[in-house]
Amino acid sequence: MSDIEVDFHHDPNDIEHMQFDIRYRSSSINSSSGQTLPKIKILGTGGTIASKGTSAHQTAGYKVDLTIEEMVQSIPDLGSTCELSYEQILNVDSKEIGAKELQVIYNAVVDNIEEYDGLVITHGTDTMEETAFFLQFTIKTSKPVVMCGSMRPSTAISSDGPMNLYQAVVIASHPESRDRGILVAFNDRVISGYFLKKSNANSLDTFNAIGQGYLGNFVNNQIYYYFPPSKPMGVSYLPIPPGFDFQFPEVTVLFGHQGFNDDLLPLLFDSIKIKGLVLATMGAGSMKDTTNKVVFELSNKFKVPVIYSKRSMDGMVTVGSLPKFEGSPCNNLIASGSLSPQKSRILLQLCLINNFSVDTIKSYFKKVYGGS
Q: With left for phi above 0 and alpha for psi between -120 and 50, is residue 18 left, alpha or beta?
A: beta
Q: Count interface residues toward ligand ASP (CB under 6 A).
A: 10
Cα dihedral sign, 240-110-179-206: negative
Q: What is the dihedral of CA 262, 265, 267, 269, to 10 degrees?
A: -160
Contacts of 26 (CB under 8 A, 6+ apart): none
Q: How far apart are CA 325 and CA 246, in angstroms?
A: 36
Q: Which of residues 282-321 bind ligand ASP (CB under 6 A)?
A: none
> In the set 48, 167, 192, 291, which binds ligand ASP (CB under 6 A)?
48
The gap from C-alpha 316 to its chain's centroid, in whole angstroms, comes to: 20
Task: Give the range of 1-9, 92-100, 257-265, 349-357 binding ligand ASP by CB under 6 A.
Answer: 92-100
Q: Which is nearer to ligand ASP, 147 or 251 (CB)?
A: 147
Residue 125 is assigned to a ligand binding site: yes
Nearer Cβ to ligand ASP (186/214) = 186
The dihedral formed by the CA atoms of 201, 202, 206 and 210, expressed in degrees to the nearest 10: -40
Tell which one of 125, 154, 208, 349 touches ligand ASP (CB under 6 A).
Answer: 125
Residues 6+ apart with CB under 8 A from 269: 277, 298, 299, 301, 302, 304
Residue whose CB is less far from ligand ASP, 83 or 130? 130
Judged by beta carbon, residue 128 or residue 361, the one nearer ligand ASP is 128
Closest CB to ligand ASP among residues 125, 136: 125
Residue 360 is labelled as binding a ligand: no
Residue 256 interacts with ligand ASP (CB under 6 A): yes or no: no
Among 22, 37, 43, 47, interactor with ligand ASP by CB under 6 A:
47
Query: Which of the residues are catalytic?
Result: 48, 125
Q: How far is the CB of 170 from ligand ASP (least distance, A)?
A: 21
161 near ligand ASP, judged by CB under 6 A: no
What is the identity of the amino acid at 102?
A: L
Distance in angstroms (rounded) separating the CA atoms of residues 276 and 75: 44
Distance (Å, rounded) from C-alpha 129 to C-alpha 10? 30
126 is in an annotated binding site: yes
Asked whether position 117 contacts ligand ASP by CB under 6 A, the answer is: no
> Would you say 247 and 99 are in contact if contact means Cβ atoms under 8 Å apart?
yes
**Could you say whether residue 216 binds ligand ASP (CB under 6 A)?**
no
- Rounded distance, CA 125 to CA 129, Å? 8
- Asked if 151 is part of the footprint of ligand ASP (rule: CB under 6 A), the reply reads yes
H/E segment holding residue 183? strand 182-186
Stretch that binds ligand ASP, among 105-113, 122-130, 279-287, 344-352 (CB under 6 A): 122-130
Point out the residue whose Cβ comes nearest to ligand ASP.
Answer: 124
**Sequence ranges of the binding site for substrate:** 94, 125-126
Interface residues with ligand ASP (CB under 6 A) are 47-48, 93-95, 124-126, 149, 151
**Sequence ranges of the binding site:** 94, 125-126
